[in-house]
């Protein structure tokens, strides 16, 4: 088996000296989709930011395809094949859809046809500015822009944020198709737990800055209590299940 | 009618300079989010490099240890190589600015970046003064300008270079539009200027993009400087200060549109020329038979204010972040002890100092007042006003006029002066309520220029060229002036008495500002600073808080201005000019724009102040080098302490040690106690 695309080894990171995530161990294999779940403020976004190196880890090692990239400038890591679609639409509002695909670093060639094969709807929006697109179209564009780079690691942060469920249900399976067809590793941060568990291979659950659970998705789907417990913190699973039956709604 | 047309067309040349600088400013803003006030100075640098090469065959170098003053080329250099070398020098300047200064300030507030470019502007001006003197030169022609090089149009004859220059900036603007629309570099810059993090995530190198844009902007400004220099005066202020109308043009273009910046720059040049024509008409008002000075500057200001009001609320996205990224505002723990300690220090100083140090100390104390005014308006409310020094000038001239023509002396004169300054300040604020952040800096800069040239330079209202005298202050028969007799001080000017007057004023002002910070108004100001919408939602009248802050800040500036008037016995316009305004803001920022301590440090550092005097007298830095050193120090301080010396959360150890001495020990413990006390007070 090929070496993992992404390995986080004992990574701690944070902002302004305050640690947000501690000793995170996470691996992603080629073609594998990993769902990163957890309550708000658990450290999911911070984990992704460390993985794409826009945040420098305080300690620990970040490996991309086996190589330590902890000191690499983030734009150089991106040029090596890491595509990070950040929370809240990774598009440039002032640029048209077509311009998004002409944009690039020196020597980069974007595979527009490849992207359009996943999102044919963008074809009709070519000359519209991204700021004028609907939320779903913007996410589509962000994802398409990432795919056009033919990344080997795709980091997707809260694709479903602010989108209608029906659009999320269309977008997320595309991620699965991408992983299967291109062999890219994917980390999916998602609040829409049920959908994420349907398309992912493995799931990690974060709580208070630490990875608390790592299971194949089948187990997570089966064992609801485990998931809820890790969302609400250890030991509170039983009362939570009894007292707040609706809490499961987040997961299903 | 022909004359109107002729004058309008004659404005194209200077307009092209404004255009070119405005294009550079817009380019620099889009490339790395900095409002570069040094763009005019860079144009002047280009002009002087070309001048040196063509007239003397040498390239002048900045004063540095082990570096010769000139590199000789052995004879005058031709037009084209001179232009090329000048542009290269400007490009190199831009590169150094970007790599050494702006890169370090990438995450600093836009104000810090603006101040850093101000440091560059001061340095370039100082280099020009050191290498070429203050008398001014006339640059040899670059574009053909013989008797045959004219254009006949609708019955008027205009030198052809006016059209050529306008054509050059038009081509430059269209080229920039094309680059930004169609090239990979332009697209990448647009993307990076919108969202740098996302740009990095798609693999764009923001540092290189920023450097390329800064270099391009500096080259453009430098080229225009070389081309336009023959049409204007070559000295250390004319072309550098052309950045003021250029900033106005850039503001009209929202720091985004090259086309609007270009047209607006040319338009301002044409308007200026038309004002010259109107002033030659017999019906146009005059003052003492002479032309009214500064009408064009007043018109520029009016146009900028009107345009900003009309577009109201449209802000460049980068500048709009200014309030959030200003340094933290420490809450003063105690008032009594620092006030008493400072009073004792000042009194001792005035009793013991020799006359030269007394003068330096007085200058510093007055500087502290100006900086306190900036602490209120910029530090507490986040509004960048470059008008405060000019408001001091308003008070100073009011004191002078009231004393000379109405016989109103101390203390009524200064009180009226302060009231007038506050009214002008509030009026300026009212016209600027829809402008914030760095945009406000540009509007108030234009306002400061208008006040200086329209009011202060006017021989009737202001000082004209000679200055306006002031009667010395007396209170209940006691002489408080700089000539007052006093047992110590050796009878030399200034008298310690006046120093004590300044001490009283500064300590009262410091106490006032510190208690504002501790009180309810201070909380409201900070709320407005951090988020106007949230403050309004919390029931704070953003408008009232801003107006109050402007009023208070203007009053402080007015006190400073009145003391200035008494300090020198005569009021001159250049003391309250725009360059001094910029210098004060930069000292205030370096000292720490958010605290009384910062204002005190800044005051010690101001030109002709205590630090400057020590530098000159004991370290041996000649006064002519001080501007140069100040510019370099300003940039160096901003790089190492982007929040100012006293502005950061952790001031450097010597400052902490001194402030512990003055404020007293146990600061941290006291702070939490004080917070608890005010919270208790708020709920009860």
The ipTM assigned to this model is 0.85
Say yes or no: B204 contacts chain A, CB-CB below 8 A.
yes
Say yes or no: B200 contacts chain A, CB-CB below 8 A.
yes
Q: Which two tokens stand for residue A162?
A: 């602010």
pLDDT at B313: 52
- The 3-state DSSP class for residue B146 equals coil
Q: How confident is the model at residue A35 (pLDDT cuts 50, 70, 90)?
A: very high
Find, in chain B, the residue whose alpha carbon is nearest to that of A89: B198
Distance in angstroms (rounded) separating the CA atoms of residues B604 and B209: 39
Say yes or no: B198 contacts chain A, CB-CB below 8 A.
yes
Contacts with A139 from chain B: Cβ below 8 Å: none
Contacts with B202 from chain A: Cβ below 8 Å: 78, 83, 90, 103-105, 145, 149
Question: Average pLDDT by consecutive 10-residue portion of chain B (684 residues)?
Answer: 84 93 94 90 95 90 85 86 95 95 84 87 91 86 78 80 91 94 90 86 89 95 93 88 91 89 94 88 76 83 81 44 61 83 87 86 93 92 88 90 80 88 88 75 87 83 75 77 73 81 92 92 90 84 90 94 87 83 85 88 86 83 78 86 72 75 57 37 32
Say yes or no: A192 contacts chain B, CB-CB below 8 A.
no
Tell me which residues of chain A, numbers 51 to 80, contact chain B at a CB-CB cutoff of 8 Å: 52, 54, 73-76, 78-79
pLDDT at B665: 64
CA distances from B580 to B437, B445, B557, B585, B638 (A): 21, 11, 13, 9, 19
Q: Which two tokens stand for residue B244?
A: 């003021």
Distance in angstroms (rounded) separating the CA atoms of residues B17 and B266: 8
Contacts with B209 from chain A: Cβ below 8 Å: none
In this structure, how many other beta carbons lie within 10 angstroms of the beta carbon of residue B4? Answer: 13
As a whole number, mean pLDDT of residues A49-62 equals: 90
Distance in angstroms (rounded) separating the CA atoms of residues A157 and A166: 18
pLDDT at B681: 33
Candidate ranges A35-39, A129-133, A199-203, B93-97; pick with highest mean pLDDT: B93-97
Residue with structure tokens 């910070």? B517
Say if the Cβ atoms of A94 and B194 lie within 8 Å. yes
Contacts with B197 from chain A: Cβ below 8 Å: 54, 86
Give backbone dihedrals phi and psi of B411, rounded to 5 degrees, phi first.
Answer: -95, 0
Distance in angstroms (rounded) separating the CA atoms of residues A47 and A37: 11
Say if the Cβ atoms of B191 and A95 lie within 8 Å. yes
What domains are defined for chain A?
6-91+151-250 (3.40.50.300)
A interface test, pick of B194, B196, B197, B202 with most A CB neighbours within 10 Å:
B202
Contacts with B184 from chain A: Cβ below 8 Å: 102-104, 106
Q: How far is A93 from chain B (nearest CA, A)?
A: 8
Say yes or no: B650 contacts chain A, CB-CB below 8 A.
no
pLDDT at B680: 33
3-state secondary structure chain A: CCCCCEEEEEEEEEECCEEEEEEEEEEECCCCEEEEEECCCCCHHHHHHHHCCCCCCCEEEEEECCEECCCCCHHHHHHHCEEEECCCCCCCCCCEHHHHHHCCCCCCCCCHHHHHHHCHHHHHHCCCEHHHCCHHHHHHHHHHHHHHCCCCEEEEECCCCCCCHHHHHHHHHHHHHHHHHHCCEEEEECCCHHHHHHHCCEEEEEECCEEEEEEEHHHHHHCHHHHHHHHHCCCCHHHHHHHCHHHHHHCC
Distance in angstroms (rounded) separating the CA atoms of residues A227 and A196: 13
Q: How confident is the model at residue A1 (pLDDT cuts 50, 70, 90)?
A: low
Say yes or no: A109 contacts chain B, CB-CB below 8 A.
no
Q: Which two tokens stand for residue B200?
A: 């990095």
As a whole number, mean pLDDT of residues A183-208 equals: 89
pLDDT at B556: 95
Contacts with B206 from chain A: Cβ below 8 Å: 75
Q: How far is B206 from chain A (nearest CA, A)?
A: 8
Say if the Cβ atoms of A145 and B190 lie within 8 Å. no
Distance in angstroms (rounded) separating the CA atoms of residues A96 and A101: 9
Q: Residue A181 contacts by C-beta under 8 Å, 6 or more apart in sequence?
A: none
Say if the Cβ atoms of B200 and A94 lie within 8 Å. no
Give backbone dihedrals phi and psi of B67, rounded to 5 degrees, phi first.
Answer: -110, 130
Q: Which two tokens stand for residue B655?
A: 């400052």
Q: Which two tokens stand for residue B25?
A: 């400013």
Say if the Cβ atoms of B198 and A90 lie within 8 Å. yes
Say if the Cβ atoms of A106 and B194 lie within 8 Å. no
Pick B203's closest partner by Cβ from A92, A93, A108: A108
Find, in chain A, the residue whose alpha carbon is nearest to that of B194: A92
Which string of b and e fits B345-361 if b means at least 16 CB within 10 Å?
Answer: ebeebbeebeeebbbbb
Q: How far is B446 from chain A (nearest CA, A)?
A: 30
Pick B187's closest partner by Cβ from A75, A78, A99: A99
Find, in chain B, the residue whose alpha carbon is nearest to that of A75: B203
Distance in angstroms (rounded) separating the CA atoms of residues A116 and A123: 7
- The 3-state DSSP class for residue B76 equals coil
Say yes or no: A145 contacts chain B, CB-CB below 8 A.
yes
Q: Which two tokens stand for residue B273?
A: 């020329």
Say if the Cβ atoms of B184 and A78 lie within 8 Å. no
Q: What does the pLDDT look like over A77-87, one tens digit per residue?
A: 999 999 999 88
Distance in angstroms (rounded) separating the CA atoms of residues B67 and B62: 8
Distance in angstroms (rounded) separating the CA atoms of residues B654 and B231: 51
Domain-by-domain residue ranges, chain B? 2-142+151-282, 331-578
Contacts with B187 from chain A: Cβ below 8 Å: 95, 99, 102-103
Say if the Cβ atoms of A75 and B204 lie within 8 Å. yes
Q: Residue A242 contacts by C-beta under 8 Å, 6 or more apart in sequence?
A: none
Say yes or no: A135 contacts chain B, CB-CB below 8 A.
no
Say yes or no: B547 contacts chain A, CB-CB below 8 A.
no
pLDDT at B319: 34
Give backbone dihedrals phi and psi of B468, rounded to 5 degrees, phi first.
Answer: -120, 125
Tell me which residues of chain B, numbers 127 to 186, contact chain A at a CB-CB cutoff of 8 Å: 184
Find, in chain A, the residue whose alpha carbon is nearest to that of B206: A75
Strands B70-72 and A82-85: unpaired
Distance in angstroms (rounded) separating the CA atoms of residues A62 and B306: 54
Q: How far is A220 from chain B (nearest CA, A)?
A: 31
Q: Which two tokens stand for residue B416?
A: 């009226």
Say if the Cβ atoms of B194 and A79 lie within 8 Å. no
pLDDT at A234: 54
Instruction: Give B472: exposed, middle or buried? Use CB within 10 Å, 0-12, 13-18, 19+.
Output: middle
């Amino acid at each position: 088996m090929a070496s993992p695309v992404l390995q986080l080894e004992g990574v701690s990171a944070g902002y302004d000296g305050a640690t947000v995530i501690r000793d995170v161990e996470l691996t992603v294999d080629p073609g594998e989709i990993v769902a990163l779940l957890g309550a708000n403020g658990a450290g999911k976004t911070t984990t992704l930011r460390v993985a794409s190196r826009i945040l420098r880890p305080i300690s620990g090692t970040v490996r991309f395809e086996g190589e330590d990239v902890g000191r690499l400038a983030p734009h150089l890591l991106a040029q090596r094949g890491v595509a990070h679609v950040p929370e809240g639409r990774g598009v440039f509002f002032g640029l048209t859809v077509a311009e998004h695909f002409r944009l690039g670093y020196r020597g980069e060639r974007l595979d527009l046809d490849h992207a359009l094969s996943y999102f044919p709807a963008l074809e009709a929006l070519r000359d519209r500015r991204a700021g004028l697109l609907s939320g779903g179209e913007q996410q589509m564009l962000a994802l398409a822009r990432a795919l056009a780079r033919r990344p080997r690691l795709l980091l997707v942060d809260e694709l479903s944020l602010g989108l209608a469920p029906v659009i999320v249900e269309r977008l997320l399976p595309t991620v699965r198709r991408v992983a299967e067809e291109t062999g890219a590793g994917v980390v999916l941060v998602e609040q829409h737990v049920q959908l994420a568990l349907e398309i992912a291979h493995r799931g990690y659950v974060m709580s208070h800055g630490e990875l608390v659970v790592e299971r194949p998705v089948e187990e997570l789907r089966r064992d609801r209590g485990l998931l809820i417990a890790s969302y609400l913190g250890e030991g509170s699973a039983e009362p939570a299940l009894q007292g707040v039956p609706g809490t499961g709604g987040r997961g299903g | 009618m022909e004359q109107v047309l002729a004058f309008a067309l004659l404005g194209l040349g200077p307009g092209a300079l404004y255009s070119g600088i405005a294009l550079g400013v817009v380019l620099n803003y889009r490339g790395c989010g900095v409002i570069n006030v040094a763009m005019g100075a860079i144009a002047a640098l280009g002009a002087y490099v070309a001048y040196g090469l063509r007239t003397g065959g040498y390239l002048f170098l900045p004063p540095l240890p082990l570096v010769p003053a000139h590199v000789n080329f052995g004879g005058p250099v031709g037009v084209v190589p001179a232009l090329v070398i000048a542009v290269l020098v400007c490009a190199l300047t831009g590169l150094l600015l970007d790599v050494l200064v702006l890169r370090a300030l990438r995450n600093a507030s836009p104000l810090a970046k603006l101040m850093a470019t101000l440091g560059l502007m001061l340095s370039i001006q100082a280099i020009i003064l050191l290498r070429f003197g203050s008398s001014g030169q006339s640059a040899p022609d670059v574009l053909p300008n013989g008797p045959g090089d004219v254009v006949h149009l609708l019955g008027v004859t205009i030198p052809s270079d006016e059209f050529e220059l306008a054509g050059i900036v038009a081509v430059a603007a269209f080229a920039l539009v094309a680059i930004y629309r169609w090239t990979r570099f332009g697209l990448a810059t647009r993307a990076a200027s919108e969202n740098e993090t996302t740009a990095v995530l798609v693999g764009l190198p923001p540092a290189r993009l920023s450097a390329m844009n800064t270099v391009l902007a500096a080259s453009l400004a430098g080229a225009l400087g070389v081309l336009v220099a023959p049409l204007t005066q070559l000295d250390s202020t004319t072309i550098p200060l052309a950045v003021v109308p250029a900033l106005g043009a850039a503001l009209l273009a929202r720091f985004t549109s090259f086309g609007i910046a270009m047209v607006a720059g040319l338009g301002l040049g044409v308007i200026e020329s038309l004002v010259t024509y109107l002033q030659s008409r017999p019906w146009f008002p005059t003052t003492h038979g002479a032309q009214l000075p500064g009408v064009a500057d007043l018109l520029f200001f009016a146009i900028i204010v009107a345009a900003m009001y009309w577009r109201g609320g449209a802000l460049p996205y980068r500048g709009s972040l200014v309030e959030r990224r200003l340094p933290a505002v420490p809450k003063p723990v105690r008032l009594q002890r620092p006030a008493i300690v400072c009073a004792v220090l000042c009194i001792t100083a005035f009793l013991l100092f020799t006359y030269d140090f007394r003068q330096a100390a007085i200058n510093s104390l007055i500087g502290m007042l100006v900086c306190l005014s900036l602490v209120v308006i910029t530090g507490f409310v986040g509004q960048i006003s470059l008008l405060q020094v000019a408001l001091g000038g308003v008070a100073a001239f009011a004191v002078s006029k009231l004393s000379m023509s109405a016989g109103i002396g101390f203390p009524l004169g200064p009180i009226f002066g302060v009231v007038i300054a506050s009214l002008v300040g509030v009026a300026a604020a009212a016209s600027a309520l829809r402008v914030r952040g760095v945009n406000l800096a540009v509007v108030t800069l234009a306002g400061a220029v208008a006040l200086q040239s329209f009011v202060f330079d006017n021989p009737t209202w202001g000082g004209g060229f000679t200055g306006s005298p002031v009667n010395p202050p007396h209170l209940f028969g006691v002489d408080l002036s700089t000539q007052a007799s006093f047992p110590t001080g050796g009878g030399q000017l200034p008298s310690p008495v006046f120093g004590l007057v300044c001490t009283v004023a500064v300590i009262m002002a410091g106490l006032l500002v510190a208690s504002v910070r501790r009180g309810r108004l201070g909380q409201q100001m900070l709320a407005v600073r951090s988020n106007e919408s949230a403050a309004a939602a919390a029931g704070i009248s953003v408008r009232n808080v801003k107006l109050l802050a402007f009023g208070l800040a203007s009053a402080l500036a007015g006190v400073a201005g009145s003391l200035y008037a008494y300090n020198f016995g005569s009021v001159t316009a250049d003391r309250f000019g725009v360059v001094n305004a910029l210098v004060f803001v930069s000292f205030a920022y370096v000292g720490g724009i958010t605290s009384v301590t910062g204002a005190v440090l800044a005051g010690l550092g101001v030109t002709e102040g205590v630090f400057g005097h020590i530098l000159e007298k004991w370290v041996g830095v000649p006064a002519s080098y001080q501007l140069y050193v100040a510019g370099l120090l300003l940039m160096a301080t901003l790089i190492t302490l982007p929040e100012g010396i006293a502005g950061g959360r952790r001031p450097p150890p010597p400052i902490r040690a001194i402030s512990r001495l003055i404020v007293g020990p146990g600061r941290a413990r006291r702070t939490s106690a004080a917070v608890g006390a005010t919270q208790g007070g708020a709920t009860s």
